[in-house]
Amino acid sequence: MSASTVMSISALYDRVEAILLKAGASPVQAGALARVITAGERDACKSHGIYRIEGILRTIKAGKVKADAVPELVPNPGKAVVRVNAGGGFANPAFELGLPTLVERTRSLGLAALAINDCGHFSALWPEAEALAEQGLASMVMCPSYATVAPSGGKKPLLGTNPFAFGWPRAGKPPYVFDFATSVAARGEIELHRRAGKPLPEGWALDAEGNPTTDPQTALGGAMLPFGGHKGSAISTMIELLAGSLIGDLNSEEALAKLGTTTLLPSHGELVIAFSPEVFAAGRPGNPIAHAELLFDAIAGQGARLPSQRRFAARAKSEAEGIVLTQAEIAQLDRLLALGLDAVA
Amino acid sequence: MSASTVMSISALYDRVEAILLKAGASPVQAGALARVITAGERDACKSHGIYRIEGILRTIKAGKVKADAVPELVPNPGKAVVRVNAGGGFANPAFELGLPTLVERTRSLGLAALAINDCGHFSALWPEAEALAEQGLASMVMCPSYATVAPSGGKKPLLGTNPFAFGWPRAGKPPYVFDFATSVAARGEIELHRRAGKPLPEGWALDAEGNPTTDPQTALGGAMLPFGGHKGSAISTMIELLAGSLIGDLNSEEALAKLGTTTLLPSHGELVIAFSPEVFAAGRPGNPIAHAELLFDAIAGQGARLPSQRRFAARAKSEAEGIVLTQAEIAQLDRLLALGLDAVA
């Protein structure tokens, strides 16, 4: 028996979609979820790949996300703000539903936003940034999470890991995209230190009384810290305000209270802001897309890496050679397909 | 002779405006500059107060900013993007000119942006964020600078200190506002370490070969580093793209090349993005402004500070008691008023 199996991207998509349908997801939910999960595996971004399926199933089973929700578009005619109510389903089909209107509105007005409300959330934000870049648009994407991060100078979990993504289109190559948690580390990295019996670096976490700790187990019962001290904390707070209060949705503390646990996927909102370089630069000398290449060249020219390059390299390999999965991963997919929601507690 | 003098805010404004007029600034330029400089002193934000006047005068004298420029509004009817061409003058009168149209467009569309082009820049960005918060609008404000910061993983100055500000309106109290450089420290802080003969903290700077250094003098000849490692570097890069390439203006490397020195004020663009909570939250339960207060209460309730509180406390004191200036500062104002551009090299 070989240690790994190679699947084509489309074969993996079919398998993931079948698992989600078996677990009761409607076609619109299952399709959108399978697309982002498959994209995660394709890009060797394992933390957002098939590893996520079990958490999705557990959250469906617990009744904390609606697997058959029908997202509803509220286009707000004439406004720069488009809304999709995810109806308690996942963010991904809501984004797919809102995308064409967001693109049309951004091209027309120069700047527009998509507010997604009442959505279950488990995925990275780079798929949104990349989808807009494919349309020639720049974007910022952000959402709260559930309260696990103390504000700078504070003692208790209040902010989420609040991811922030940005995308910029490039001609004839993958876009400039970054996507990171505004916590100094992901919760999973603390868990990995715990399992390895390794202390955390200084500045990652607080204990339950709000004192600095380097013990992973203590940290998991305390609070994580934002990246970059008070500046990162301010950006995380901004995300609570823009992707929570502004769009009339939950902040991370409320999302945790509603969920009641950090072991399932939270529900809250998401904000996508899109920019048309064509409209913004109209009447100015030069071309904004070509201008940005000077900066990218200068960054790469001094040996610094552009973000997402590892992901794009993995993607090219997957597209050419398929996706490599371990036998354990294949067995897990088989088990989830056979048992559906019975596969999870 | 007393060691200090108390001036009313309006008396200081008059004095600063008179100095700028004497130096050849037109009333529209002098007024806007005097407002932000006086606001800096009022808020005990000395780094953006009267200390800046000499740099302004030197930049005017060097012909690197047009003291009599007339900013021009390009309202882009029907679009979410308003433009003001500063015409080689300062950003501040350009912002004042564009503000009413930005506010009107944001209230109508929910989201709008002001692109300021071809402006000399020396000021903090919180005045912009506060002006929008006074109108009940949230905002992001950003601009490049001149190349003094190496990208994370790089070796050479390429990015600017690229400030980023955010504002959120609060009912009956000063807004939630932050405004920070995306470099780990301001250039002035490195200079202060040099004068004090103190080594820099680790992670602040590189030498001219791109190696880490804690020597301030070496750092001034090398590069500063972004805050928060690769995440802060990514945000700084985003600012180059949005407030440079997107709006058809210079990035920090080009701004330095055009200026030819780091001892005068650079010219580039500025981007202001404004959000209407009313439009964004329309049809959703609750009120976004009241909702945000829950977060602010929770932050303050665990002993963490909201940004800008020190500034607002200083403002309240200045408004009640006037602004305290040292005799040296008064003498400097007198000298600048008497000599105009002859006061500077």
CATH code for the domain in which residue A61 is found: 1.10.1530.10
Residue B59 maps to a domain: yes
Please state at what angle helix B229-240 crosses helix A229-240, rounded to 10 degrees.
60
A292 → closest Cβ in B168, B180, B245: B245
Residues with Cβ within 8 Å of B134's Cβ and at least 6 positions away in sequence, in order, are: B169, B175
List of chain B residues whose C-beta atoms are within 8 Å of the C-beta of residue A242: 138, 275
Q: Is the pLDDT of residue B1 over 90?
A: no
CATH code for the domain in which residue A237 is found: 3.30.1370.60
Amino acid at A194: R
Based on the residue annotation, tell me whether A278 is a catalytic residue of this protein: no
B149 contacts B285 by C-beta, under 8 angstroms: no
| Residue B304 contacts A, CB cutoff 8 Å | yes
pLDDT for A293: 98
Ranges under pLDDT 70 in chain A: 1-2
Q: How far is CA B235 from CA A45, A85, B144, B238, B278, in A?
A: 22, 29, 11, 5, 28
Residue B140 maps to a domain: no
Separation CA A181–CA A194 (nearest Å): 20
> Are residues A300 and A321 both part of a single domain?
no
ipTM of predicted assembly, 2 dp: 0.97
Distance in Å from the first CA to the final CA of chain B = 30
> What is the distance in angstroms between the Cα of B31 and the nearest Cα belonging to chain A?
28
Q: pLDDT tens across B25-74, in order?
A: 999 999 999 999 999 999 999 889 999 999 999 999 999 999 999 999 99
| Residue A341 contacts B, CB cutoff 8 Å | no
> Are residues A145 and A275 both part of a single domain?
yes
> Are residues A176 and A274 both part of a single domain?
yes
B291 contacts B277 by C-beta, under 8 angstroms: no
pLDDT for B222: 96
Q: Is the pLDDT of residue B93 over 80?
A: yes
The mean of the pLDDT values for chain B is 96
Separation CA B291–CA B343 (nearest Å): 52
SS3 label, residue B181: strand
Backbone angles phi, psi at B313, to 5 degrees: -65, -40
Q: Edge to edge, what strands does the sheet with B223-224 contain?
A: B212-213, B205-206, B223-224
Residue B205 maps to a domain: no
List of chain A residues whose C-beta atoms are within 8 Å of the C-beta of residue B280: 81, 113, 115, 246-248
Residue B240 maps to a domain: no
Q: Which of residues 211-240 of A touch B (CB under 8 A)?
A: 227-235, 237-238, 240
A295 → closest Cβ in B155, B235, B251: B251
| Other Cβ atoms closer than 10 A to B338 | 11
Q: pLDDT tens across B163-177, in order?
A: 999 999 999 999 999
Residue A206 maps to a domain: no
> Are residues A31 and A91 both part of a single domain?
no
Residue A210 maps to a domain: no
> Are residues A243 and A122 both part of a single domain?
yes
The secondary structure of B55-95, three-state, reads: HHHHHHHCCCCCCCCCCEEECCCCCCEEEEECCCCEHHHHH
Residues with Cβ within 8 Å of A110's Cβ and at least 6 positions away in sequence, in order, are: A275, A276, A279, A280, B76, B79, B80, B81, B113
Separation CA B225–CA B276 (nearest Å): 35
Residue A244 maps to a domain: yes
Q: Is the pLDDT of residue B232 over 90?
A: yes
SS3 label, residue B163: strand
Q: Which of residues 181-210 of B touch A (CB under 8 A)?
A: 182, 210
Stretch B245-267: mean pLDDT, rounded? 96
Based on the residue annotation, tell me whether B47 is a catalytic residue of this protein: yes
> Are residues A107 and A121 both part of a single domain?
yes
> Are residues A47 and A98 both part of a single domain?
no
Residue B41 maps to a domain: yes
CA nearest B302 in A: which residue?
Answer: A154
| Residue B300 contacts A, CB cutoff 8 Å | no
Indicate yes or no: CB of A113 within 8 angstroms of CB of B110: yes
SS3 label, residue A278: helix
| Other Cβ atoms closer than 10 A to B62 | 16
Residues with Cβ within 8 Å of A8's Cβ and at least 6 positions away in sequence, in order, are: A322, A323
Longest CA span, chain B: 64
Based on the residue annotation, tell me whether A47 is a catalytic residue of this protein: yes
> Are residues A43 and A126 both part of a single domain?
no
| Residue A292 contacts B, CB cutoff 8 Å | yes
Q: Which of A192, A195, A219, A196 is nearest to A207 (CA)?
A: A219
* Domain count along chain A: 2
> Are residues A84 and A231 both part of a single domain?
yes
Q: How far is CA A157 from CA A164, A184, A265, A305, in A?
A: 19, 14, 17, 33
Separation CA A283–CA B76 (nearest Å): 11
Domain that holds residue B318: 1-68+308-345
| Residue B113 contacts A, CB cutoff 8 Å | yes
Q: How far is CA B255 from CA A46, A287, B155, in A?
A: 41, 17, 19
Separation CA A277–CA B210 (nearest Å): 33
> Are residues A243 and A169 both part of a single domain?
yes
> Are residues A84 and A169 both part of a single domain?
yes
